[in-house]
Structure formats: structure tokens, C-alpha cells
A = this chain, B = another copy of it.
Amino acid sequence: MSDRTLTATLVQHADQGGVDANLQYIEQQVRAAAANGTRLVLLQELHNGAYFCQTEDTEAFDLAEAIPGPSTDRLGRLAAETGCVIVASLFERRAAGLYHNTAVVLDADGRLAGKYRKMHIPDDPGFYEKFYFTPGDLGFTPVDTAVGRLGVLVCWDQWYPEAARLMALAGAELLLYPTAIGWDPHDDAAEKDRQLDAWTTVQRGHAVANGLPVLACNRVGHEASPRPGDAGIDFWGHSFIAGPQGEFLARAGHEPELLSADIDLARSESVRRIWPFLRDRRIDGYAGITRRFLDD
């Protein structure tokens, strides 16, 4: 470990039943992590409540809040109290009829250092996010903090190499993904294994391709669907912290867990020296990346 070692912690948990209960739980966990030396905390996606996108319900927009607003105020106080940088995930109300899935970064002094609006929005049975979240309009811009430049992305973004690469090109030193992903209880065990492994692998691949640590914090617990007959979602946990060769530094299971690892930020440069991928990118040949499909 170099003198650029950063202790980071993920708070993987089940919904506690309400905003105040979830924030109380988070406060308790962050204080415990800080007491053990953590300086960077990553929370799971939409940690203030249940995952409300299992159905399309206009009343769910009442859950959205302003940024800055009550949650950033409360999390900012927690950041200042503990001296941790906190990456949180909120349902943002920007205007009537205009909502985003937004990650916020509270710096170690409690200041709102920046935010990222989820760029890639999924829509699958049980994950009706296109109904709720306007696609982000802030691009792929990292946030500078006391612990370094953070490439904060959100959940569905984690399947997109473009998002990770753009954050790396903008100088991100870590990639962080608040997440809410789980199994359809109807799928068989082999399919569940493939999905969890694919989710882990593609993100570890971003670590490798960019020579950067990757942190992914996912929720756990079964959440029933409000739609009769739907099976609900088993959120699969398995949050992890990987180093710049994609190696696991820490990995959670399928239960609530406070997951910590020491990340040596100096390793990214040594890894990029033996694997200088950024040197050899064929930027003269990449224009097609901005096309939908190359069929004409």
C-alpha cells in the first residue's frame, strides 16, 4: 500500500420501510464505518425507500425531492460530522413533470460537491424507470472531492463501457455505481447465476479497461410488487470493490453488510504503465460509437 491509500465502505441494506428509517440506518452505518477509518462511503441506489419502479404510479412522484433539499441537508451534516465523502442516490424533483434518478456527492466538509443524473434509463418488466426518470442531461462529468475525482454513475449505466470510458477520460480516479438490481424469482438458479456473474464481470471489465478501481453498492431483500400476480424482486446484493486490474478487494454476499476495503490509489498509475491502453486508443476509428447502429 502506498501513502495514497483510501478506505472505502459500501452500505448494502434492505429497505427499512420509510425515508427516516432508512436515513437513520445509514447514519448509524456511516458512523460505524468512519470509526474504522473510512473516508469514502457509497450508498445504494434510491436508498431512501423501497424500489418504487415495479409499477407505474403517478403518486410515486410524491417521493421525489429537490436537490439540494432535505436529504442532501441531512447527508451533508453526516458527511461533515464523520469527515466522510458520501455518494448518495436520490429521486430528484427538478420541476413539475421533470424528475431524475440522481446521485449526489457530499464532500467531507458537508458541502454538496456535485451531482450526476443517470444517463442510461432502463425499462424492463418490474423496472419501469422510463416512466419516472428523465434521462440525465449533465453528461459524464466526474466530481472533485477531498478523496479524489469520483466518476459517479448509476445502476443501468454499469452495463455501458462508454460511460466508464468517458469518466476515465475526464480524469476520474474511481468509478462508483449505486445500484438496485435483483432476480426475477421465476428465473431458475442457472439463469440467476449467469445474471449476477454478468453484472459483476462487466463492471470488473470497466476496471480493467480503464485501470481504475470500481465500487458497486447494491440493495438486498425481497420487495413485493404492488401488481397482483407479479413475483416482486429479490435484490441480489453482492456489492463489491475491485482494484484497477478488476481484482476483488472486497465482496459482499446476499445479506445486509457494511463492506470496506483499502484502495491504493497509486496502483492505477502503475497498472496503466504496464497496460497503457489510453496510449493506443484508435480515436481516428471510433466515430461509429456515436451512431445507433452501423447498418447503412
Write the residues of chain A forming the contact surface with B, with a CB cutoff of 8 angstroms: 119-122, 124, 135, 139-140, 156, 159-166, 169-171, 194-195, 197-198, 201-206, 208-209, 245-247, 274-278, 280-283, 285-295
Contacts and interface: CB of A to CB of B under 8 A. Distances in A.
A170 B194 CA distance: 26
B208 A198 contact: yes
A286 B166 contact: yes
A209 B293 contact: no
B208 A281 contact: no
Contacts of A139: 285
A197 B198 CA distance: 15
A289 B290 contact: yes
Given A159-B209, A286-B290, A287-B290, 11 more contacts: A120-B281, A156-B280, A159-B275, A160-B209, A161-B165, A166-B288, A166-B289, A197-B246, A198-B208, A198-B247, A201-B201
Given A166-B286, A201-B246, A281 B160 contact: yes
A269 to B, nearest CB: 14
A140 B281 CA distance: 13
Nearest to A205: B205
A64 to B, nearest CB: 21
Contacts of A209: 159-161, 202, 205
Contacts of A161: 161-162, 164-165, 205, 209
Contacts of A205: 161, 201-206, 208-209
A198 B124 CA distance: 30
Nearest to A124: B274
Contact of A247 (B197, B278, B290): B197
